Structure 1
Amino acid sequence: MGEENFKKECFKCEFYSFGTSKIFEKRVDKYGCRLKAITFLGLLSPVLLGGFVASFSVESALLKNSLLPVCGSLTIFQAILSLLSLVCRWDETYSYAIGSVRNNTMLMNDFSRLKNTNAKVNSKRFQLLTGDYDRQNNADIGQNISTKEMRYAMRQSLFQYKSECRTCGIKPISLKPSKCDTCGNF
């Protein structure tokens, strides 16, 4: 592989690894927030009831008429949210996303360093890294990445690397979505 082609391939892998890490960073935020909400709601009712009973009385009209129905409703809502979380496997999605961010960030950094080296000296390292890249890419594809997420990733990468979109010909100056079906519409 020639020196120029080597640098292009390293940059391409770096570019796409960066974008993919951004997709999964967004998922980490989304599912992390959902899982924290379930934990919070799971503890809210017992803490409210326990605190009220410890502070006042079990016989209080406020407890029977207001607090118990509110806590009961919160408990039902939390149970439904927990069931949805189990069925949709939010914890697995969250864990995978954390691993993908870590792996894609590592690949991005490795390809960034590698592109500034000699192609002949580092061809073996390049082959190993592209094998890791392909395995991670295949695993990530299995996580049902939507076209909106792909456009989001493209916008993030174009902005980060100050590159021009091949479809619309614009170099993004912000992360706000454009009308482009390659780097916008997310």
Structure 2
Amino acid sequence: MILIGIDTGVSTGFAWSINSKLQSVDTESILSAQDRVLNIINSTDSAGMDVIVCIEDVRLRKWVPKGVGKERMQGVGSVKRDCSIWQEFCERHGIRHIFVAPKAIQTKLSEKDFHMITKWPYKTSEHARDAAMMIDKVYRLLKRKHINMPAKFEPKIKKPRKPALYKVKKEKLL
């Protein structure tokens, strides 16, 4: 099973693993992360492995600490928008995906603690570590059957709307 972890934001945390063995832990832009997801899926199609994208979804956060300023709230708004973009991306390409609430994962680990837990030897950013910890948690939950494997997602194809026919009012002749 291949799990891909996405920590949304301006600097997108990106991590992926094969059967819980980390392959990459990086930080990149949202578009390059989406390209990597497609590359991983295309390269594993022939191998027949299940691929699940795990997205940290701040829309599931139900609390906001007191004293959070307007600038920080605008930042949260842009991350919420990024979650919507990832949802649309996964649905458009028919990719299995899971949304993970921020409180469900161990985030904001120091690099030292992250290395002790995962044995990942390379330098990482906070966003990349969060993405890696998310897929670690999801893997354990799937293995223990605490959460179910998401069903294959069939993209919804919207039917084009018929153009509206407007009635033209006849002008009265004088």
TM-score of the superposed pair, with normalisation by structure 1: 0.27
Identify which of structures 1 and 2 has the higher relative contact order when contacts are C-alpha pairs closer than 8 Å and 6+ apart.
1
Structure holding more strand per residue? 2
Greater Cα radius of gyration, structure 1 or 2: 1
TM-score of the superposed pair, with normalisation by structure 2: 0.29
